[in-house]
Structure 1
Amino acid sequence: MSVTPPPPKCPACRVNRAAWTNPRVDFCYACLPGGPFTPPPCRTCGTRESYFSQGRCERCHPGAPLYLGACHGCLAWGVYRRHSWLCWTCRWWHGHYPVGICAFCTRETYINGSGACRLCWENARRVQEPGHAINLTEANQHGQQLFLANLQYDTTGARRRRIARERHHRRLQPPSAPLALANHRQPLLFRMPPGKGAIKKRALTQDSPLLRHCDQTLREHALRHGWSKRLVNGVAHTLKLLDALQDTPSSKIRSSDVLAAIRYGATAISTLEVLDTVGLLEDDRALAVERYFAQHSADLPAAMTNQLQLWFDTMLQGRSTAPRRRARNVETIHIHIVGMAPIWRAWAQQGHESFAEITAEDVTRELPAKGSNRIFAEQGLRSLFTVLKAHRQVFSNPMRGMKATRPNVTVPLPLDTQKIRDALNSPDPTCALAVALVAFHALNGRELQKLELTDIVDGRLRLGPRIIPLAVPVRARLAAYLDHRARKWPQTINPHLFVNNKTQARTKPVSKQFPWRMLNITAQSLRDDRILQEIYATGGDVRRLCDFFDIGIDAALRYRSVLDDPKPIATTEHDSGTHDPT
């Protein structure tokens, strides 16, 4: 289809088109030298308004944006150049179907799942009998009837009923064959970053076996977790993106590939859940502590690197065979690495090839003089050489017999009473409940994060073996928060007490910083304040503190040390657990 190009713009105003192209007049009538001049009437329709170029208006000039023409998709009459010569339905059609040869009119255009272009599809719809399926062959065997653009909207509800019948028909059809997984992965010789626009267009138009395979699981998972329609469509779009980005078709999807697709508008976390459910996920994500360890153990001698890797794997995963060892918390491992990393590198620079060459003098020489870095280094080196000695990687433990540095004991300080009262009366029900649970019952951040709805029954909170009767102000804030949660997320199945917009569609807990990032106090400082008030109320009963707050003797003695301070601390109004600050 030949299309007349628009004339060039006026070089003076860069808004209007040139007045004439034959004979050539580069300026518009408003910018002509000696002007402005009044444009002549359109020589086709006679209008004196909206002059465009060559003596014609915007609707009569073939290169004008309002010039009417035929749709490039369905050949319907009545589309504009400004809309790329496409009617509204064909614009949607081109964004959701691939290019192919129509099985009924043999045109090369965008075809749907039945192998028909939109023109053949509309002709079949035109003669479709109520209650019967569309017969594309019979409706198009004698040609097609053209129509006017943008007049095929159904306002009677028949189209919605037809779509419902088609969906019901698809559900009655036998399921398609499962996706045949490839047992190999084709490596790439060169990694060329794909074009962002090309990938998006390919994901919109091409057929996606991955989406077909995951579609039923996606719908069931979304219905079970109360996902919104927007989130379901986002996951479906992400699955099509992953299908377009795959280097080896029909292979399992790496988690890193899903996360890398975010730059194309992907919905990563929810897509990972769906892929994991159908068994197509290859989780290659590394923990933050693993990346930190790899960063600080690089460029070391081979023997030293192998010994460090043995220690790291033992600490992270534990060991069930002799020499047995329990897995440690990732935060503990991180602290050990922070303390030891400078010492590793110093020994490597001194020419040591293995930790078996390290002596007690080497350790003493490289340890920091004082501070928390010395404590972290001593704890890490003691753990490292204990593991290496148990696995017979070193001849002797240079840390054996070395006196440990005692940490400096800090004195916990109380909080301002007004600050606590303001947090308790926060307009956000989530913040008010979190502050109340810590201010009255001294829960820590990890306990709040893992708290579930079933842990609170009949006004009593169960924390492991402990059963805590909730204070009256806590019950009031709990009721307000549960009402807020039921109104805002009525469909969520998250079992945890605290949820937010990110976790309401999943079953994972919130982060440890929620909701404290919205307050000017922290959970630990508020917990310290509550324990201090108990110290002053009971006269420093250490046994009661250990039982009541589930802490050890050393921690209880640290809090009791404030009694030696001659400066008295005023108790706050939430000591007894019965005062309602509202």
Structure 2
Amino acid sequence: MSPAAGPSAALRPPPKCIECATNRVAWSKPRVDYCYDCLPGGPATPPPCRACGSDRYFSQGLCDRCHPGAPLFLSSCKDCLAWGVYRHHNWLCWTCRWWRQHFPEGQCDYCGRTARLGESGACRLCLEQARMLQEPGRALDLVGANKHGQQMFFANMHFHRRRTPRLRPHRPRRRPSPPTGTFTPAVGVQLALFDMAPDPEVVRARAAWEDGELTRYCHQVVLEHAEKFGWSAPRRNDVVRSLRLLQTLRGAPDEKIRATDVLVLPAYDGNIASTLDVLAAAGLLIDDRPLRVEVYFASRTRLLPEPMRTELETWLRVMLDGSKQAPRQRGRDPATARVKILAIVPIVTAWAQAGVTTLAEITSDDIIAAIPSATAKRVPAVTRMRSLFKTLKARRMIFIDPTRGLTTGPGPSNMPLPLDTAAIRDALAFPDPATALGVALVAFHALTGHQVRHLQLTDIIDGRLTLPGRSIPLAGPVRVRLTAWLDYRAGRWPHTINPHLFLTQFTAGRLTPPSHVFPWKKTTLRPQALREDRILAEAHANGGDLRALCDLFGLSIEAAQRYTHTVGPGPAPAKPRSRP
């Protein structure tokens, strides 16, 4: 029987004596219903234990330590399989008893057993195995540590875990600390009663000469990141200085680092992005950074009355996280939420200035009066107001949906216009190789700005650009500019491992794509307008061939018709013949 499966018939205690109902029966096989004290003609002296010779007789010729159903019989923990637990505690060690009160039951992601699972989705046995094999400066490797099995251990033992050698600093300071022990982050954090900004000069002076446990613990991770991503010596030193600043700024010496605390480092001449990467790799980062759309929402709604702001926050949370209750919906992209905020906040702000404190007071007449008359603004305003009040009605924050029955009318129709050819020609000859290549990719092949940002080096093979569903032979001018950019890229960042085609000084030491303004910030052209100009030119060149536009640029029928309508009406459809 596996100990983890619980006590079987062999481990069950024998029945009690029918006479005293206190002691266990003397024998189960052959069956005797009395203990030795209550035997008819007794009492009788019980024999010594046939296993260890003890005089503490229990039943079946064994003592209370040797009998599998005795209270002092040792067995394995049902959850973590640790040896040395008693029946008195339901075959559970002290730690697993605590786990059963705080963690749910499920199937472990690493060993497949059904047990109590911690926050990482691992049972306690897999977690202890990973802790035992954890290397200094590294996070727990639950997959690798449990790949070839686990090492059993004793239960309820008061001992210190095997200590890994503390990492020595690369450059010893004037007051180095002894390299003994390991850095163990605290589980709980003591909240501060008062928030007081420290003196920047004092913080800089202390961080200049003091190496704490955090700096020594993360030193190896810094060196590996510097070698892997091709960091320069100044950047590596900036990260080390930032770690010293964080060691000085945080409240307790053993608590993890919050990302919001790292964001204040520029006030003390610290580095942000690379420090966040190092802390995340070391498993010491608590990422509590708000989304950009949340910061934008807070800045636009800070002057609204409280009930109205709470209602808008509920709608924003449903937009970002989705909803599992009716009406169900998936979480939207933050950029989509930002566009909707841009249309809703001006209308809601006007209502608040008119004295409205909650959206439950809004009627259909108020919405009709607030919607812009221009078609280009009316349709998105009605659509986004409908999303807002539909969410609030589902959460029972308003009584009726005032947008019910409102119609948007015909959608806005805009006609794509060609760009100035001289401006495109000047952008193609721009001295910056990244800008010239980005303009060429869109001007010749009508790529979107998103596609240009996320292009990788492996997408271009033998003069062909491979995109999802498209294989594009690169034009000659594009190849010339691609060669110039690759030469510049190899000379500027020779050791980078970033797979993206376009790099910046910020992304060369990481694996992320550049921002949406690169490489367009040096030119007046924008990728969307340049893409429309290319498609419009192709529509006029092929006489409005709808199928050719869809195949060449990956457009849908509706999107392609927007360009073919500029060419002119097509041939009139043939009338069906009437039957004689």
Provide TM-score, normalisation by structure 1: 0.64
Instruction: Give the Cα separation in 1 of the matches to 2:522 and 2:310.
Output: 44
What's 1:279 paired with? 283
Aligned-pair distance for 1:506?
0.6
**Aligned with 2:223 (options 215, 219, 225):** 219
Residue 256 of structure 1 pairs with residue 235 of structure 2: no
What's 1:471 paired with? 475
C-alpha contact (below 8 Å) 2:177/2:212 kept by paired residues? no
C-alpha contact (below 8 Å) 1:340/1:376 kept by paired residues? no
| 1:527–1:176 distance in 2 versus 1, CA, 3 Å | farther
Instruction: Give the Cα separation in 2 of the matches to 1:176 and 1:458.
Output: 55
C-alpha contact (below 8 Å) 2:455/2:500 kept by paired residues? yes
| 1:112–1:181 distance in 2 versus 1, CA, 3 Å | closer
Residue 563 of structure 1 pairs with residue 548 of structure 2: no
What's 1:240 paired with? 244
Residues 355-504 of structure 1 mapped to structure 2, 5 A cutoff: 355-370=359-374, 372-504=376-508
What's 1:546 paired with? 550
C-alpha contact (below 8 Å) 1:254/1:281 kept by paired residues? yes
CA RMSD of aligned residues (A): 2.6
| 1:406–1:507 distance in 2 versus 1, CA, 3 Å | same
Deviations 1:344-380 (A, max 9, x none): 2444456656544433222112223336543442221
| 1:525–1:301 distance in 2 versus 1, CA, 3 Å | closer
| 1:473–1:190 distance in 2 versus 1, CA, 3 Å | same
What's 1:150 paired with? none
Range that drifts further, 253-262 or 234-243: 253-262
2:458 is aligned with what amino acid?
Answer: T
Q: For structure 1, which runs of at least 5 residues remain unmatched after alignment?
A: 1-94, 99-110, 115-174, 566-582
C-alpha contact (below 8 Å) 2:207/2:248 kept by paired residues? yes
Residues 180-199 of structure 1 mapped to structure 2, 5 A cutoff: 180-199=184-203
Instruction: Give the Cα separation in 2 of the matches to 1:503 and 1:399.
Output: 45
Range that drifts further, 525-534 or 287-296: 287-296
Instruction: Give the Cα separation in 2 of the matches to 1:544 and 1:319.
Output: 41
Q: State the secondary structure of the residue aligned to 2:472.
A: strand
List 4+ stretches of structure 1 deviating above 6 A. none
Aligned-pair distance for 1:259?
1.5
Q: For structure 2, which runs of at least 5 residues remain unmatched after alignment?
A: 1-170, 570-580
Deviations 1:465-497 (A, max 9, x none): 222222222223222322221222111010111
| 1:320–1:494 distance in 2 versus 1, CA, 3 Å | farther
What's 1:122 paired with? none
C-alpha contact (below 8 Å) 2:453/2:513 kept by paired residues? yes
Deviations 1:53-80 (A, max 9, x none): xxxxxxxxxxxxxxxxxxxxxxxxxxxx
How many residue pairs align between the two structures? 399
What's 1:533 paired with? 537
2:514 is aligned with what amino acid?
Answer: V
Aligned-pair distance for 1:398?
2.3
C-alpha contact (below 8 Å) 1:96/1:205 kept by paired residues? no
Q: State the secondary structure of the residue aligned to 2:512.
A: coil
What's 2:329 paired with? 325
**Aligned with 1:523 (options 512, 522, 527):** 527
Identity %: 46
| 1:425–1:318 distance in 2 versus 1, CA, 3 Å | same
Aligned-pair distance for 1:263?
1.4
Q: State the secondary structure of the residue aligned to 1:263.
A: helix
Aligned-pair distance for 1:269?
0.7
Instruction: Give the Cα separation in 1 of the matches to 2:435 and 2:355.
Output: 55
C-alpha contact (below 8 Å) 2:379/2:412 kept by paired residues? no
What's 2:67 paired with? none
Range that drifts further, 529-538 or 298-307: 298-307
Instruction: Give the Cα separation in 1 of the matches to 2:497 and 2:522.
Output: 25
Range that drifts further, 351-360 or 483-492: 351-360
**Aligned with 2:341 (options 333, 337, 341):** 337
Aligned-pair distance for 1:397?
2.9
Q: State the secondary structure of the residue aligned to 2:529.
A: helix
Aligned-pair distance for 1:273?
0.6
1:370 is aligned with what amino acid?
Answer: A
Q: State the secondary structure of the residue aligned to 1:503.
A: coil
1:259 is aligned with what amino acid?
Answer: L
| 1:341–1:422 distance in 2 versus 1, CA, 3 Å | closer
**Aligned with 2:205 (options 179, 201, 206):** 201
Deviations 1:146-201 (A, max 9, x none): xxxxxxxxxxxxxxxxxxxxxxxxxxxxx853312123333334433322222111
Q: State the secondary structure of the residue aligned to 2:535.
A: helix
